Amino acid sequence: MKKYFIGILPDIKTRKKLTELKNKTIKLTEAKKNKTPLHITLKENFKTDKIDDLITELKEKISNFKPFKIKIRGFDIFDNEIIALKVKNNKTVQNLHEISMKISNKYRKEKEKYFGSKIFKYKQKEYIKKYNSPYCFEFYNPHLTLCFHADPEKNDQVINFLRKNNLNFEFEVSKISIIDKDKHKIYKHLSIK
């Protein structure tokens, strides 16, 4: 059984600029390189042996979507270790996230245990039980992760570095992608027409 996730990849021109920024951030933080392509997660890791069925249903559900723009504005640091670029609020991204959550949950083979470090309450606990994620639906926060690092003492350096950079990016989305998590490669693109 393979592990996948669903995401939005920036276009080639934007990806090149973001990869450069990512590599500089990794060097600054001495973080481990992440082999996964830069992306905005719609649905985090899940295991399935019915990926073709999932793709068929997902294609059908997104068939009425039109290409749209994503704006990246500024940065954030989550849990003192995840350095990410903020995605400006976007209803289409939220809709794609919700569709991806519901469909992937139907085809998810095993209910993995969520190993988050935070204590969640009420609705997020229910989401963990049902979707194995506390960060879905109204708690979804679209972002583009630059790196994970283990030294919070470097955060001041990172903040100063990122503030000096122009963190205003915009790109058009015309597809979403299924990524093979184990191989760190794109498994399939699904077009948005």
- Can you list the domains of the chain with their CATH numbers? 2-191 (3.90.1140.10)
For residues 11 and 171, give the distance between their C-alpha atoms in angstroms, rounded to a whole number.
7
Quote the Cα angle for 87-184-179, to 5°: 60
Q: Which 3 state secondary structure label does DSSP give 62? A: helix
CA atoms within 13 A on the CB side of 120: 18
pLDDT in tens, 115-138: 665 688 889 989 988 898 899 999
Distances (CA, A) of 2 to 16, 29, 34, 68, 154: 28, 31, 19, 30, 35
pLDDT in tens, 5-50: 999 999 999 999 999 999 999 999 888 888 899 999 999 999 999 9
Sequence-distant (≥ 6) Cβ neighbours of residue 73 within 8 angstroms: 86, 88, 167, 168
pTM score, two decimals? 0.93
Confidence band, pLDDT 50/70/90 cuts, at residue 2: very high
Quote the Cα angle for 19-24-26, to 5°: 90
